């Protein structure tokens, strides 16, 4: 597989999964034909997505706590 093909494949893989990382497993990637760079990209995307969700939840909790302290 050429480098160009690899770069073109992983965004399609993410798009095919709808950007939903919840519950995904390596077997899910294998079913979609994702290996190597595609799998790494997928799990990096999921880690970034989870981190963003966690940060948003923390901000919301802190805002509620701060509002209750006034």
Instruction: State yes or no: pLDDT of 41 exceeds 70.
Output: yes
Those residues whose C-beta lies under 8 Å from the C-beta of residue 46, and which sit 6 or more positions away, are: 21, 24
pLDDT of residue 26 exceeding 80: no
**Within 13 Å of residue 12, how many CA atoms lie on the same side as its CB?**
8
Quick one: pLDDT at residue 59? Answer: 92
- Confidence category of residue 9, pLDDT binned at 50, 70, 90: low
Model confidence at 48: pLDDT above 60: yes
Tokens 């999964």 locate to: 17
Give the per-residue pLDDT at 37.
Answer: 73
Give residue limits of the domains in the chain. 42-70
Q: What is the pLDDT of residue 29?
A: 65
Give 50's DSSP letter: H
């Amino acid at each position: 597989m050429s480098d160009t093909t690899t770069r073109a494949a992983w965004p399609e893989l993410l798009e095919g999964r709808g950007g939903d990382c919840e519950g995904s497993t390596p077997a899910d990637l294998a079913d979609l034909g994702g290996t190597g760079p595609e799998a790494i990209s997928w799990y990096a995307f999921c880690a970034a997505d989870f981190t963003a969700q966690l940060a948003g939840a923390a901000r919301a909790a802190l805002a509620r706590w701060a509002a209750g302290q006034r």
